[in-house]
Structure 1
Amino acid sequence: MKYAKNILETIGNTPMVKLNKLTAGIDALVLAKVETFNPGNSVKDRMAVKMIEDAEADGRLKPGGTIIEGTSGNTGMGLALGAIVKGYKLVCVISDKQSKEKMDILRAVGARVVVCPTDVEPTDPRSYYSVSKRLAQETPNSWYVNQYDNLSNTAAHYEQTGPEIWEQTEGKITHFVVGVGTGGTISGVAKYLKERNPDVKIWGIDTYGSVFKKYHETGIFDENEIYSYVTEGIGEDILPKNVDFSLIDGFTKVTDKDAAVYTRRLALEEGIFVGNSAGAAIKGVLQLKEHFKPEDVVVVLFHDSGSRYVGKMFNDDWMRERGYLDDEITKAEDLIKDHSDKPLIVVRTEELVSHAIDRLRKYKISQIPVIDVEGFVGSIDETDLFRSYVEDKDIAEKPIKDIMGKPYPIVQANTSIEEISKLINKDNQAVLVDLGDGRHHIITKHDIISSIK
C-alpha cells in the first residue's frame, strides 16, 4: 500500500504548470511552480519542517516545548503542522495587515495568535519582530524560530525546491523568478540552480516600500524607501541573513495595485487560485519579458493559496475601496455609487453650531449642507467653522444660520466629473447630486481625488 506516515511526508513534489493566457506576449515558455499543493497550502511548509527538525537535532527545541515565531501567516501554518505531528505548542506573532483568513486558519490548527501593528519600526517594542523575541525570552522551554536569519530556511529550498525545479525542467530552466521576503526560497533555489548551471538567471520580485531592490543595486540601505504597503509575503524593512544578494541577478518592483489585480487575473484567466505574492510574481515576469528569448524556460514560483485572500484581493468592495478595480468613472453617479444608499447628513438653520460639530465628528466628514423647510439654503465647512471659532469662542451655542456659508451647487446624476471639478474650488468645497425622488448626495474633493487611477 502507498500512504504517508503523517501529513509532513506529503510536503514537496508540487506540480509545474504552463501559463498560457497571461503570458501570451512573452517569447518564452513560462512555467509556474504551484506551491499551494503542499499540505499547508504554501511553499513555507518546506522550510518550517526543516527548521523544526534542525532545531530538534541540535537541542534548541526540546520535547514538549513551545515554538514562537513572527510570521505573515504561511510559515505559521507550516510550523503548526509540524507542531501538531511532533507534539509542540505554537505561538504565532502576526502583523495586523495580514488577512483575517490567515489569522483564523492559524487558530484553527491550534496556534495562539498575537497581533501587532504594521506601521512601526522593526526595533519598536510593539513590532512583530520585537514581540516574538520578547515572548521567547519570557516563555519557559521555548524556541524562537527567526525564519529571517535561520539558515535552515535557505537549506530547505537548496535540498528540495531547487532539485525539483531542475528535474521537472530537465535542466532546461534559464530564469527563475520569485517574490522575496525572508529570502530563503530565492537563495536556496538559486544556490542549487547556479551550481548546476551558472548561466541560470535569478530575478527577485520586490514591492514598493521595501529595501531589497535598491540595496542590491547600490549597497545602500535606504530608510527613506521604507513605508507601509498592502502586498503580503514579499518585501522587507530589514535585511534578513537568508537573502544572499550575490546569487540574485536583479530585482523588479511591483505595485500593490498590480499585485492585487494580477492575483485575480491568475484565477480568472489561468484557473490558478493563488495568493497575493503570486500576482506580484507574474506581473514581475511580464515586466521582465524583454530579458527572455523564445528558447528560454522561465519558472515563476507561486507561494500560497488564494483561499487566504478571499476577504481582500478576491473581494470587490475591498478592491474598490483602494482604487484597484478599473471601474470607469465619468459621471457624478459613478463617484457615489458605493455609498449612494447612505442618507445625506444635514443640519437645520435653527440647530446650534454644536450640533454641526457633533455630526462632523461622529460621521468623520468635513462639510454639511444646511436645510430649512424650503430646501438647501446653506453649508457648513470645517475650515470656516474653525475660523469662526477663533474669532468667537462662544460660537457653539449660536444657531447655524448665523455662520453658514452659501448652499452647495446641485448637479444631475449624469453631470461629468470635469464639470463637477470646475464647481469645486477654494470658495466652494462640495456639490450636491440630485438622485431624484427628493434624494441628494454630496461629492467633495476627496471623492474626486479618490477616483484618480
Structure 2
Amino acid sequence: MLDSLSDRSKHIALGAAVGVFFTLSTTAIVFATREKIARLISLPKADQGSLICDGVAGLIGNTPMMRIKSLSEATGCEILAKAEFLNPGGSTKDRVALSMINTAEREHILTPGNGSTIFEGTVGSTGISLAMMAKARGYNAWVVMPDDVAQEKSQLLEKLGAHVEKVRPVSIVDKNQFVNLAKRRAQEFGKNDDGAEGSASQKTGFFADQFENLANFEAHFTTTGPEIYRQTQGTVDAIVMGAGTGGTLAGVAKYLKALLPDLRTYLADPQGSGLFNKVKYNIMYSPTEKEGKRKRHQVDTVVEGVGINRLTRNFALSEGFIDDAIRVTDQEAIDMARYLVHKEGLFIGSSSAVNCVAAVRIARELGPGHTIVTLLCDSGQRHLTKFWNDEYLVKQGLTVNDVVEDLDFIV
C-alpha cells in the first residue's frame, strides 16, 4: 500500500500508524497499571471510597504490624509487634472506648449530643481514649484517677476537655478508690434533685467500667484478634501481652485459639501484680502483698497500665486460653525501653516494654524459627515524668543506663 504513495504521503501514513500504535500501547499500559493498583490494594472499584475514613472513630484499629529487627536477629525468631500507639488516641484503649460507647448507644444508655457525661476510673489511657471519643460523639467526660500517675496524662485529659478528679491511691475495697468513686459519681449524676432516676431523654451519667464491661473483651475479639490473624496470615506460634483489665488478652487469645489450636498464649506480668500467680498456680497473690512489703499503692511497680491484684470479668474470659505467664521486673522493663530507643529508634511506654521483655524470653524458650506476636500498647510520650524520668527511677532504687547495647539484662 505504501508503494503507491508519494514520499511525503508515506511519511504521513507511517507517522499516523506509529501514533496509533503508541496511543493504543499507552492506553493499555494505563489500564494495566490501574488494574495492578486495584489488585495491590485489594479493593474493588466500588469500594475505593472506603479509603476515606469517617471522623476520629474511623482511624481506630487496623494498626500496622512491625518486625522488631534487633529482637528478631538476637533471638532467631520473628518478633512482631502490633503498633497500637498509632491509634488516634495513642493507645490500644481507643478500641475499648469506641466499643463501650457504641454498646451504650445501642442499648439506649447514651444518646449522642444530649449532653450526657461518661465517667471512668483509669490510670490514664482509657480515660484519654474516652475523652477523645466523648468529644467526637457530643458527650462530656469525667475521669477519676490516682494522683500518682504520670502528670502528662492528666494534662492531656484536661486539654481534651475532660473533668479530671485526682484521688489518693487506695485499695479497691475503699469506697473512694478511683474506680469506685467514678461509679458513684455516675450514679449521682444520673438522678434528679429528689433522688429519683432521670428519664431516658435527660442527661445521663454513664459509668464506662472498663474492668467489668465486656464490651472491652468484645472490641479485641472482633478487631484486634482478626487483624493479627490477617497480618500474620495465620503463621504465629505465640502471642504475649500484659493485662490490666484483661480485655485485650482474653479477646485476642479466645479468637486466635479457635483458629490456631497449637498457638501458645502467654501473660506478661509486671512485679507486684497477682495475675502471674493466678495463671501459674490459680492463686491471686503477689509477694509484695505481705505485710510491710508494699512500696507503692495499687500494684508495686513503676509500670503503668498493666498488672492488677483482683480478678475482673474481662480477665475471667481468658480462663482456659492462657498457657503460661512471664514475670517481668521493673529493671528489665526500663532496660528494654532504653535498648529499643538505641537500636530501633522506638520510643515505647512501660507496658510495651514489659511485653517486649516477655517476647524475648519466650523466643529463647521456644528456640529459633518461631513467630511471636506482642503489642506496643502506647508510646513513651505519656510516661515522661515517671517511666522515662531518670531522677524518679533512681529514687525508686532502679538503675538507668542511657545506652543499652545487648539483651543480657533479661535473665
* TM norm structure 1: 0.69
Q: Distance in 2 between matches of 1:136 and 1:327?
A: 44
1:170 has 2:256 as partner: no
1:234 has 2:299 as partner: no
Q: Distance in 2 between matches of 1:19 and 1:152?
A: 31
Q: Distance in 2 between matches of 1:65 and 1:265?
A: 45
1:287 has 2:361 as partner: yes
Q: Secondary structure at the match of 1:206?
A: strand
* Counterpart contact for 2:118–2:139, Cα < 8 Å: yes
Pairing partner for 2:124 from 73, 86, 89: 73
The structure, 1 or 2, with the larger RCO (C-alpha pairs under 8 Å, 6+ apart) is 2
Stretches of structure 2 that go unaligned for 5 or more consecutive residues are 1-48, 191-203, 295-299, 403-411
Counterpart code for 2:303 = T
Write out aligned runs for 1:54-69 (5 A): 54-62=103-111, 63-69=114-120
> 1:223 deviation in Å?
6.8
Q: Distance in 2 between matches of 1:5 and 1:327?
A: 44
Q: Secondary structure at the match of 1:21?
A: helix
Q: Secondary structure at the match of 2:70?
A: coil
Counterpart code for 2:329 = T
Q: Percent identity of the aligned residues?
A: 36
> 1:316 deviation in Å?
2.7
Q: Which residue in the other structure is 2:155 paired with?
A: 104
Write out aligned runs for 1:430-449 (5 A): none
- Paired residues in the alignment total 327
Q: Distance in 2 between matches of 1:135 and 1:104?
A: 21
Q: Distance in 2 between matches of 1:175 and 1:161?
A: 15
1:86 has 2:137 as partner: yes
* Counterpart contact for 1:22–1:270, Cα < 8 Å: no
* Counterpart contact for 1:281–1:300, Cα < 8 Å: yes
Pairing partner for 2:218 from 151, 155, 172: 155
Q: Which residue in the other structure is 2:74 paired with?
A: 25
* Counterpart contact for 1:22–1:269, Cα < 8 Å: no
Kindly indicate which of the two structures has a greater share of residues assigned to helix.
2
Counterpart code for 1:290 = R
> 1:47 deviation in Å?
1.1
> 1:185 deviation in Å?
0.6
Counterpart code for 1:296 = H
CA RMSD of aligned residues (A): 1.8
1:124 has 2:174 as partner: yes
Cα deviation 1:210-234 (Å, max 9, x = unaligned): 1111112222233765443221011
Write out aligned runs for 1:44-443 (5 A): 44-62=93-111, 63-118=114-169, 120-140=170-190, 141-222=204-285, 225-226=288-289, 227=294, 228-243=300-315, 244-326=318-400
Counterpart code for 1:103 = S
Q: Distance in 2 between matches of 1:175 and 1:271?
A: 25
Moved more, 106-115 or 312-321: 312-321
* Counterpart contact for 1:178–1:302, Cα < 8 Å: no
Kindly indicate which of the two structures has a greater share of residues assigned to strand.
1
Counterpart code for 1:86 = R
Q: Distance in 1 between matches of 2:342 and 2:61?
A: 26
Q: Distance in 2 between matches of 1:162 and 1:51?
A: 18
Q: Distance in 2 between matches of 1:40 and 1:302?
A: 14
* Counterpart contact for 1:174–1:200, Cα < 8 Å: yes
Q: Which residue in the other structure is 1:422 paired with?
A: none
Cα deviation 1:143-174 (Å, max 9, x = unaligned): 11111111110110111111111111111011
